[in-house]
Amino acid sequence: MMANSRQIVKEVNNATQLNEALSLVVDRSKSSMDTDACSVYMNDAQTGQYLLMAAEGMIPDAVDNVRIKHNEGLVGWVAAHEEVINLSNAADHPGFLHIPEIGDDSFHGFMGAPILHHGRILGVMVAQKIEQRCFDNEEVAFFTTLAAQLGGTIHHLLAKWDFTRQLYSPSQGRLFIRGIPCAPGVAIGNILLSQPLDLQSIPDRSAPDADTEERAFKAAVLATKQEMHASSKRMSDYLPGEVLSLFDAHIMMLESDRLNAQTVARIRNGQWARGALRDTILELAQVFEKIDDPHLAGRAEDIRSIGRHILIHLQGGGTTSGEYPQQCILAGTELSLSEISTVPRDRLAGIICMNGSALSHTTIICRELGIPAVMGLGDLPIGYLEDCKIAVDGNQGVVCINPSPKDINEFKQRIKEELVISAQLETLHDQPAETLDGVPIPLYVNLGIGADNMEIHADEHEGVGLYRTEFFFMSRNTLPTEDEQYALYRNLLESFAPKPVTIRTLDAGGDKILPFFSIAEANPFLGWRGIRFTLDHPEIFLAQLRALLRANSGLNNLQVLFPMISRVSEIDATLALMDRAYIELVTEGQAASKPQIGAMIEVPSAVYSIAALSKRVDFFSIGTNDLTQYLLAVDRNNPRVQGFYDNLHPAVIHVIHDIVQRVHLQNKPVSVCGEMAGNPASALLLLGIGVDSLSMNPSSLPRVKWTIRSFTKTQAIALSQKALTIENEADTHQLLNTALNDVGLGALVCANLMSS
């Protein structure tokens, strides 16, 4: 009976090396289908060939020695057509290529299936029979299903294999990797890993001193046991006995002879402690995963969990400030606000992330702090980068691992070019943001982090277009009190008075997680977030509204903005709570003043509620980040669909144009506070569409001002009208970038292309 492909995939998922995984694939496939030979050819992008990397039933020496050009043979045919072929006699196919090195003279039946990941061909799986007949339907279904299921795992291991091959090549590890440019700037420094590695990300290394490694392992096990005992004792008053027994079970696993003896044996055979732990844990987990009983199979995750706990202690836990590199490039799979804020600001030179996008909130944090950042580096095996020297170009989305002296000089030259541009922008410091034909465009700043220090820069700005209160909430372990919020808001309003300050109420949910409030949802961006969350928690919302009303007293420069508005009833409920907060404060004898009220347009349904909303609010602000996400049905943080996210998509441009027309028909102002406002090219487009003001991160403002001062309003209108006739985003990018180049703003084009 044919094996379940999911069971094979489980085994492959435990592999830490590409060769190990592919050997499992061919072995299990051959035995499951009772075929005569099975092999896997992987795409070697460096050579433009398919390399035979695993085989069963063929000449043994063929593995790692047989290469097929991309356009050759049945393997090349399957890859080029990205479809399965099933032949009774391979030699009859016009694409057949005789390969004597694998001994294919005796094989007739042939089946090939592509291994794909996100539309990219990774390799080809092949099954062959001596008998001259096609594979039956059951065999075809099994083989093609297995090939489809393996895509993600093989992609990860292939990236790791390719990376390590280059890292340890004769070029001494010099390696360029392209990601997503997220925050502008260039930096050179040393990598610091932000968090403990996943077990499978641990690189292979030899142990320079086996005794030292063994002691480190045993100390980590002991520390983990002490941690488990302490946790059990701490929770004994809150958990029933049957749940507390889980701690005992984990402690027993930590004392297991197999775990300890096998890890020590691997260390004695030359592995470093982390690698020895990895192999032991994965081997033990695989034993449980093969058991049919689901309860026993679930123990595999317990084993891996224990392995991660030991690993944390092996890696030495946290880092003290004295251990941070002078020029620190913080690296992680994902990075939270708390992880970023842990590194002293004077040492944090740059950030790289395996996940994330140009519109994630990690990116927004980096832009506010002025830290160069590259995200979306994918399956880069981050564990191999520990302590590596690295250069980061946040303008072009490029990182260079172990740069050569020549590379470092080139990156330093880019840093000098950045300083030249900054000096040019500084000359505009005291100049108004107005077009060549004298049309003023208010430019406000977005704030969220470091707003408590903005008073020293308040005179440089026209006001605050968006203060994100969620960052204040996210940086704490408890809810801020009303008085704590009042102090923050009052300081901000006083710093900018009499200039307007727009404060957005708590916008939790989606990718903005409150550390003290767990919200677990299958689809958080379409879930309990923004105004939905705060209306369901009036005790949280009222405290914030009271703090805002108190802070506005005597200043009256506050504008309150409500996020995630999708229907009129939400504004009605919100205004009712604000009235309640105001009445409470007056009754208590506290000074309070009602602010201007605004609604964010980021949910498509709000676009068609503008007339009704206008009766209730004083202004509108377009949140282009979420509006684009919802309009195009693209999760902006999902790397699989990141290529589909583009705020210059024709539909997005038309909707923004529609919003401006509808709002102006109601004689209300409309601004843009999304990242689109801080992009020189898209800001030019928004100017032409008729947006009344723009709000952006402080670091983006000089470039946008430079752009506005380089065009007439008439030119901007003409460009926007042309953009409204374009049918694809690539042509819109070209239109706007050409316009920037034509007026001598070519230095801004690169950042525009990458960040849109």
Catalytic residues: 361, 673
Closest by alpha carbon to 330, among 390, 407, 264?
390
Query: Which phi and psi angles does 113 have, rounded to 5°?
Result: -135, 135
Contacts of residue 392, defined as CB under 8 A and 6 or more positions apart, other chains included, come to 186, 187, 188, 189, 329, 349, 350, 351, 352, 372, 373, 374, 398, 399
Cα–Cα distance measured from residue 545 to residue 70, given in angstroms and rounded to the nearest whole number: 64
Cα–Cα distance measured from residue 279 to residue 297, given in angstroms and rounded to the nearest whole number: 18
Cα end-to-end distance, the chain, whole Å: 52
E strand segments, 637-710: 670-672, 693-696
SS3 425: helix
Q: Across the strands, what pairs with 401? A: 175, 390
- The structure tokens listed for 120 are 């990219």
Contacts of residue 735, defined as CB under 8 A and 6 or more positions apart, other chains included, come to 719, 722, 723, 726
- The structure tokens listed for 575 are 């205004």
| 557: exposed, middle or buried (Cβ count in 10 Å: 0-12, 13-18, 19+) | buried
Bridge pairing between strands 389-393 and 619-622? unpaired
CB 620 within 8 A of CB 692: no
Is the sign of the CA dihedral 339, 343, 346, 350 positive or negative?
negative
SS3 392: strand
DSSP structural state of residue 593: -
Query: Which phi and psi angles does 453 have, rounded to 5°?
Result: -105, 5
Long-range contacts of 224-229 (CB under 8 A, 24+ apart): 224/254, 224/306, 224/309, 224/310, 224/313, 225/251, 225/254, 225/255, 227/309, 227/313, 228/254, 228/309
